[in-house]
Structure 1
Amino acid sequence: MAVKIVCADFNNDCPAQFTAGDEGELLEHVELHTKTAHQPMEWTPELVEVVKTHLQPA
């Protein structure tokens, strides 16, 4: 199932939005975005769980 996420849903002004064919693919995109656009934020297992709560059907 396709899923999407909007970075601004995390209480910031980032315009990034991602859509992918499944959760795993989407999390890869969000991980790369987090590491490049939101330094020094770290991609931790706890952050992955928070991100998963914001996933929406695409």
Structure 2
Amino acid sequence: MGVIMPYGAAIREAMASNDLAKMEAIAEQTKQIVKGQGDMHVALLELLEAIESLKKKK
């Protein structure tokens, strides 16, 4: 099947396909990517707060 970058649309496409193998493959790929990102979502929230803080100072 090859590697599919698991962004929202690709995940939804796999779900819509009803292809169990495709769904399992993209789920596993996504789990590995999420695991490798660590606390990226927390870092993003901190970044957005820092941006807002700087905007308020101007």
**TM-score, with length taken from structure 2:** 0.31
Higher Cα Rg: structure 1 or 2?
2
Higher strand share: 1
Higher helix share: 2
